Amino acid sequence: MKYEKPNLAIDIVHLGLIDFKEAWDIQETYFNQVVEQKLANRTNEEQQPTKNYILVCEHPLVYTLGKSGKEEHLLLTAEQLETAGAKYYKINRGGDITHHGPGQLVLYPIFDLENFFTDIHLYLRYLEEAVINTLQNLDIQAGRYEGFTGVWIDADKASARKICAMGIKCSRWVTMHGLALNVNNNLDFFNHIVPCGIKEKDVTSIQKEMQGFPTDFQKVTHLLIAELIKQFGGFKGVER
C-alpha cells in the first residue's frame, strides 16, 4: 500500500544516555504504534498518516548480538562481563555482534518506509550515505566495504577499519534498530568481540581519525540528523 499523501515529516526524540533495554522498549512502543496504525488503515475508510521517528541516544556499556550472529563472537564469560560492568543482549535485528558505550552516537530510525520507498537495501544505502556525508563534513573520507553493511575508512585498502555499524529490523515496511557511529568512545571494548563477525579488521572513531583532537559530540549529532533528514525527503518534524 502506497499512501496518497505520504508523511515525510520525521520526529527527532532525544533520549540521552539510556540503558539499552530501556531504549529497546521505547523503540518497540513506537514501532508497534506505527504498525497498529497501518493495520487500522486497511479497514478505516479514512487513511491516517503514519509517523516517522529518529531516536537519538548513547548507551552504557553493552554488547548486542543480532539474529544472524554467533555467540562465540563474544569473547567474554558472564563473569568477565560483570567485572567489566557491561550487559549482553540477544536482540531482534539483523547482523552479528557489536558494542555500545558512552561517546558512541546511536540512532534508531523508526520509519514507515511506505512513506518513502519500499526497498530495504536502498534504505541501508541511505543510512550509509548520511554517515559518509557527515564524516565528509568533518574532513574524514569514508565509504563502503563491498559485501558488508556499514561505513568504513580506507575501505579499499588493507588498513580498512569500521567507524559505523548498522543493523535493522523491518516488518510491514516499518523499521527499527539502526546505526552506531563511533565518535569519542573507548574502542578497547571492541577487543572483547569479533566486531560484526569480521575478523582481522580494526574499529575506529571520529576522534581517532582526527588524531585525538577533541570531538564535539553535539555537533556530530546535529550533522548526522540533518543528513538523514536530507536523505529521506528534507522535511523535519518536532525535535524533543
Catalytic residue IDs: 196
Q: Where are the beta strands (DSSP E) in 102-173?
A: 104-110, 151-153, 161-171
Asked whether 193 and 63 are in contact (CB, 8 A), the reply is yes
DSSP structural state of residue 63: E
How far is C-alpha 79 from the chain's CA centre? 28
HEC string of 92-121 equals CCCCCEEEECCCEEEEEEECEHHHCCCCHH
Rounded Cα distance, 49 and 225, in Å? 22
Rounded Cα distance, 10 and 126, in Å? 15
Classified as helix, coil or strand, 201 is: coil
